[in-house]
Amino acid sequence: MTFIPHDYAERVYAGVLGKLIGVYLGRPFEGWTYERIMKELGPINYYVNERRDVALRSHHLVVTDDDVSGTFAFPRALADNGYPKRLTAKQVGEAWLNYIVEERAVLWWGGIGNSTEHTAYLRLKSGIPAPQSGSIELNGTTVAEQIGAQIFIDGWAMVSPGNPEQAAYLADQAGRVSHDGESVHAAKLLAAMEAQAFVERDVQKLIDVGLGFVPKDALIRRVVNDVRDWHAGDNSNDWERTRALIADRYGYDKFPGNCHVVPNHALIILATLYGANSFQEAMRIANTAGWDTDCNAGNVGCLFGIRSGLAGLDAGPDFRTPIADRMYISTADGGAAITDAVIETQSLVAAGLALAGAPALAAAKNGARFNFNFPGSLQGFHSKGSSPARLHEVELSNVVGHSRTGERSLAIDFRRLAPGRVARVASPTFFDKEVFTMPIYQLVACPTLYSGQRVECRLESELNGGAVTARLFASIYDERDELVQIHADAQVLADGSQAVLVWQVPETHAYPIFEIGIEIEALDPLGVDGTLYLDYLTWSGAPDTVLKRPDSNLSTMWKHAWVNNVSQFQTRWEGLRVTNGNGLGFIAQGSRDWRDYRVTSEITPLLANAWGLAARVQGRERYYAVMFDRVEGGRVQLVKRVHDEIVLASEPFAWQLDRKYKVELRVAGTCIETHVDGKKMFTVRDTGELPLTGGAVALLVESGSISTAEVRVSSNAMLAS
């Protein structure tokens, strides 16, 4: 068993936060030169997203970005394949095909021969497996040696604490899906450094470890040695002087392509050396130095987060509170898109322990989605204060104690809360309309909370006299895509009270839920001061809901709740019309939290080679489905797709165009049951090595169109006798 540092989980959390801080710092001026940054912005010491001189590009802080989506999506290949000791490039390439929605998710879709990742995706799609998909032999040196392999390495390092050999191997296999040559050398070097940073703080020793995985004749080795020499000979500790030397010898103008790895790698080494032991100084250098700022600062931020831990992140300006752990991972597994640093940390730690052969950690607070168990974690919670006459501002902080089974809780402090006003704190379960103004990268996502699911939270109170009521609430989009609140029953809390609030979310009539939270109101006519401590907030079970076009023609957010992996997704008089022009496509909604349930839809094939209904969908190439095709005069099949298609059962079925068929799938444990027009067709138990245990629902169509009025999902998954 590999040695695991005692503070492994917290250091991963710091690494994830460091990555996010770096990306969000650098994103608004990505591609700017050092000279332009200094002229227009000055040294980058804090977020500049709201400054007027960059706000036209993006005033958002938490944004969709390939640096975030790719870094945290692609390591899911480990769990999807049962945590193999030697994950292969082919398996990571399969993860690309599963999680990426073409032209919509994760990548910069700049075209073949222009965007390295787009080029590699097209190779994979055409049947060329990794590592050939990213090879110099196939794509040429210019395309293969851009920066992308280096961007995505942090996840591979964080599952390899103190194991640089494993990190370098994983970075090599993952990097070769899309890149080759110097790009992969740089990725391996940086991944090894980050992995070793769990057990070693000395920067020079970390660089030596990284160089151990780079060929002696590699250009990347020469670049690193040059930057080290310039730094060693710099008695004035003038990083800007060394930056100028880098620009002169290794600048963008010296290399072909849009964003070559060499200049950017040189700036990462620059920030690492001159940043010394300061996360803040490393961030200032990586961002002020220019070029591909979000990529470079993201890698440096992760490295320094791992090295210095949370104390290092918190030693200067408050970079954490504005982010509040929030992040988007835009993939075909839409239920995992609205996420946060705690959730992704837990996933990486589980993978790291599995690879090391170490026992898994007990799920924090029995697996609660919002558990606040890391110091400073907010998990997206924020005070709602947009209506001053009605909403009372509160202060949020992460504190020790006030938890029944954990170590920490979220403190909600309020002062002079008067009757007639309410305090609300909430965390997003979907995205707001402003996401459509984010440049470059789309967000493909589903809500994380649905009608019929059971929400639960635990509260403790400390009040200075008086009492308050607390109740769960959710904000949903209405017929005009405005947010309205729905509420659970209120519960009275006096000083020293404890309460568990439970609420089954009512039917929202296909309008998506945007956020979940707590609403607090004073009972004392003189107002109340005090603190409520939120121990956890979570939900469980599959929903009981109807996914359809709402009655209003003015609403659009409901449509964005579907993962759109087809050429046309229209809302016609009959409800939903799904069209895919070439090959198999789907629209999907839900998440891997949905385990045992039934899904039903009355589907009309209008013109299609094949069509069907899927359950436990985990991306483009992972699901169970009942499929109808034209083979041998027509047949119906129950299939399992995990990149390759496995037929679990099959029968002749002469289906017809323009006729409506009631199709139903029931999934419970490893058992899958299908019904067509009320008749049970198949009952199959998946005895394979890695059964799909949870996931979304989907409508599928191959080279044609289907229509339906609605898709019903029920938590009642009872199988027929």
The secondary structure element, H or E, covering residue 577 is strand 575-589
441: β partners: none
Q: Which residues contact 211 (CB under 8 A, 6 or more apart)?
A: 189, 221, 224
Q: Which two tokens stand for residue 265?
A: 């790698």
pLDDT at 3: 80
Q: Averaged over 86-98, what is the pLDDT?
A: 98
Helices 66-73 and 8-26: crossing angle, nearest 10°? 150
Start-to-end C-alpha separation, the chain: 46
Number of domains in the chain: 3
Residue 471's nearest CA partner among 497, 453, 489 is 489
Residue 637's nearest CA partner among 671, 598, 610 is 610
Q: Which residues contact 474 (CB under 8 A, 6 or more apart)?
A: 429, 449, 485, 486, 505, 513, 514, 515, 516, 517
Query: What b/e sequence results for 533-564 when a residue is b if at least 16 CB atoms lie within 10 Å of its CB, and e otherwise?
Result: bbbbbbbebbbbbbbbbbeeeebebbbbbbbb
Query: pLDDT tens, 266-302?
Result: 999 999 999 999 999 999 999 999 999 999 999 999 9
232: β partners: none
Q: How far apart are CA 278 and CA 312, in angstroms?
A: 7
Query: pLDDT tens, 574-584?
Result: 789 999 998 99
CB 135 within 8 A of CB 144: yes
CB 192 within 8 A of CB 233: no
Say if residue 55's pLDDT is above 60: no
CATH number at residue 681: 2.60.120.560
Say if residue 385's pLDDT is above 80: no
SS3 of residue 296 by DSSP: helix
Q: What is the largest CA-CA distance in the chain?
A: 82
On whether both 44 and 76 belong to a single domain, the answer is yes
Q: Averaged over 167-171, what is the pLDDT?
A: 98
Residue 579 lies in a domain: yes
Residue 662 lies in a domain: yes
Q: How far apart are CA 396 and CA 660, in angstroms?
A: 53
CB 666 within 8 A of CB 647: no
- Alpha-carbon distance values, 544 to 44, 540, 588, 708 (Å): 49, 12, 16, 18
Calculated CA dihedral for residues 92, 95, 97, 99, nearest 10 degrees: -140
pLDDT at 615: 98
Mean pLDDT rounded to a whole number for the chain: 94
Q: How far apart are CA 272 and CA 269, in angstroms?
A: 5
User: Strand runs (DSSP E) across 590-695, as ranges?
Assistant: 597-607, 610-617, 622-629, 635-642, 644-652, 661-668, 671-676, 679-685
- Alpha-carbon distance values, 114 to 111, 119, 143, 258, 317 (Å): 5, 8, 7, 7, 38
Last residue of a domain, one of 540, 572, 602: 540
- DSSP states of 421-478 as a string? -EEEEEEESS--GGGGG--S-------S--TT-EEEEEEEEEESSSEEEEEEEEEEE-
Residue 90 lies in a domain: yes
Residue 713's nearest CA partner among 575, 510, 423, 537 is 510
CATH number at residue 432: 2.60.120.260
- Alpha-carbon distance values, 464 to 176, 391, 469, 534 (Å): 61, 20, 15, 18
- Assign 416 a pLDDT band (cuts: 50, 70, 90): confident
On whether both 73 and 159 belong to a single domain, the answer is yes
Query: pLDDT tens, 644-682?
Result: 999 999 999 999 999 999 999 999 999 999 999 999 999
CATH number at residue 123: 1.10.4080.10
On whether both 88 and 225 belong to a single domain, the answer is yes
Omega before 322 cis (within 30°)? no
SS3 of residue 578 by DSSP: strand
On whether both 179 and 54 belong to a single domain, the answer is yes
Q: Averaged over 227-240, what is the pLDDT?
A: 94
Say if residue 133's pLDDT is above 80: yes
Q: Averaged over 394-406, what is the pLDDT?
A: 96
- Assign 420 a pLDDT band (cuts: 50, 70, 90): confident
Last residue of a domain, one of 507, 540, 573: 540
CB 265 within 8 A of CB 219: no
- Alpha-carbon distance values, 562 to 45, 355, 430, 586, 642 (Å): 39, 34, 11, 10, 21
Say if residue 56's pLDDT is above 60: no
Residue 534's nearest CA partner among 646, 610, 427 is 427
Measured in degrees and rounded to the nearest 5, phi and psi for residue 422 equal -130, 150
Residue 607 lies in a domain: yes
Q: Which residue bears the tokens 């020499």?
A: 229
Say if residue 721's pLDDT is above 70: no
Residue 301 lies in a domain: yes
| Burial tier of 525 (Cβ tally within 10 Å: 0-12, 13-18, 19+) | exposed
- Assign 388 a pLDDT band (cuts: 50, 70, 90): low
pLDDT at 392: 85
537: β partners: 370, 457
| Burial tier of 126 (Cβ tally within 10 Å: 0-12, 13-18, 19+) | exposed
Query: pLDDT tens, 435-491?
Result: 877 777 889 999 999 999 999 999 999 999 789 999 999 999 999 999 999 999 999
On whether both 620 and 481 belong to a single domain, the answer is no
Residue 344 lies in a domain: no
Residue 546 lies in a domain: no
On whether both 330 and 411 belong to a single domain, the answer is no
Helices 182-196 and 261-275: crossing angle, nearest 10°? 20
Q: How far apart are CA 288 and CA 109, in angstroms?
A: 27
Name the DSSP class of 393. Answer: P
CB 604 within 8 A of CB 624: no
- Assign 546 a pLDDT band (cuts: 50, 70, 90): very high
Say if residue 433's pLDDT is above 90: no
pLDDT at 389: 60
pLDDT at 235: 87
Q: Averaged over 374-398, what is the pLDDT?
A: 87
pLDDT at 1: 60
Q: How many CB atoms lie within 10 A of CB 339?
A: 23
Q: How far apart are CA 269 and CA 262, in angstroms?
A: 11
CB 696 within 8 A of CB 446: yes
- Assign 127 a pLDDT band (cuts: 50, 70, 90): very high
For residue 275, the one-letter residue type is: G
HEC per residue, 151-190: HCCHHHHHCCCCCHHHHHHHHHHHHCCCCCCHHHHHHHHH
- Assign 607 a pLDDT band (cuts: 50, 70, 90): very high
On whether both 684 and 602 belong to a single domain, the answer is yes
Percent of the chain with pLDDT over 90: 89
On whether both 301 and 331 belong to a single domain, the answer is yes
**What pTM did the predictor assign?**
0.96
- Alpha-carbon distance values, 347 to 2, 5, 66, 339, 356 (Å): 18, 17, 19, 11, 14
Name the DSSP class of 555. Answer: -
CB 585 within 8 A of CB 701: yes
Residue 350 lies in a domain: no
HEC per residue, 312-363: HHCCCCCCHHHHCCEEECCCCCHHHCEEEHHHHHHHHHHHHHHHHCCCCCCC
Q: How far apart are CA 213 and CA 199, in angstroms?
A: 18
On whether both 121 and 76 belong to a single domain, the answer is yes
Q: Which residue bears the tokens 């956020």?
A: 515
Q: Averaged over 413-441, what is the pLDDT?
A: 87
Name the DSSP class of 219. Answer: H
On whether both 324 and 426 belong to a single domain, the answer is no
On whether both 508 and 570 belong to a single domain, the answer is no
On whether both 614 and 490 belong to a single domain, the answer is no
pLDDT at 52: 62
Q: Averaged over 50-61, what is the pLDDT?
A: 69
Last residue of a domain, one of 318, 335, 352: 335
For residue 500, the one-letter residue type is: V
CA 341 centroid distance within chain: 9
Least confident range from 48-62, 168-182, 351-365, 568-582: namely 48-62
Find the domain containing 431 and state its range: 382-540
Say if residue 2's pLDDT is above 90: no
Say if residue 168's pLDDT is above 60: yes
Residue 566's nearest CA partner among 445, 707, 699 is 699
